[in-house]
Amino acid sequence: MKKSIILKVKSKTGWREIRKSVGQVLLGGLANRSREEVDRHLRELRSYGISTHAKIPMVMRVGVGLLTTDSRIEVQGEKTVGEVEYVFFLHGERLIVTVGSDHSDIELEKFSAKRAKQIAPKVLCPAAWYYDELEDHWDRLVLRSWIRKGGKKVLYQEGALAVLLPLKELLALMRQRSGKPLSDAVMFSGTITGMGGIEPSSRFWIELADPVLERRLSHAYSVESFPGYY
């Protein structure tokens, strides 16, 4: 199955619209540089009854139909959460980077992480950057997310990319694990640990900030949950 996505790429010289034909969506997980950060994330997951026996870092594949740049998603049940991540793909010879959310069902993750990842959409910001304009200061880029809590927008996640595997290392890992060319793949990095636990929200904001070039990629989406039976 193939799916096309359209993004606007911002360079130092202006904007360009590109169309990407997607045949694979790959998700990184527990993709931190330090074992300390991996263990911290594992403890956070275990506190919610979620465990994993997969290889670390994890690499999972989900259906391309889950990929969306929409500002609204639908999910079944009320215990789904967003996770801010950097997202990347090849476009010709150049790497493109954006920000996304690997939305997931935390109740289902207690039984099967790979099935939980198939339940909810994977949201992308419809704007992006060229990786070669970021490479020399990659570790200084910052991921952030916010949730709606008590009627207010509250910071939920924040961390520099220095804590996650570098893009080219993660690309090589995904190529090795999948055993396939990745020219048609969109890849998610895996997330950073939260500010204070895992919380569902009716709205989720995501951002990738570049303090060197003084710019940011931002997106937000509403989450509409519905029951399985009436």
pLDDT tens string, the chain, 230 residues long: the values are: 899 999 999 998 899 999 999 999 999 988 889 777 777 777 777 776 777 766 889 899 999 999 999 999 999 888 899 999 999 999 999 999 999 999 999 888 888 888 888 989 999 999 999 999 999 999 999 999 999 999 999 999 999 999 999 999 999 999 999 998 999 999 999 998 876 678 999 999 999 999 999 999 999 999 999 887 77
| This model's pTM is above 0.85 | yes
Instruction: From 66, 126, 63, 70, select the one nearest 96 (Cα to Cα).
Output: 126
- Residues with Cβ within 8 Å of 53's Cβ and at least 6 positions away in sequence, in order, are none
Instruction: From 176, 198, 195, 200, select the one nearest 187 (Cα to Cα).
Output: 176
Give the C-alpha separation, 7 to 1, whole Å.
Answer: 20
Give the C-alpha separation, 198 to 206, whole Å.
Answer: 15
Task: For domain 3-226, give the CATH superfamily.
Answer: Fumarylacetoacetase-like, C-terminal domain (3.90.850.10)
Instruction: From 46, 56, 65, 11, select the one nearest 198 (Cα to Cα).
Output: 46
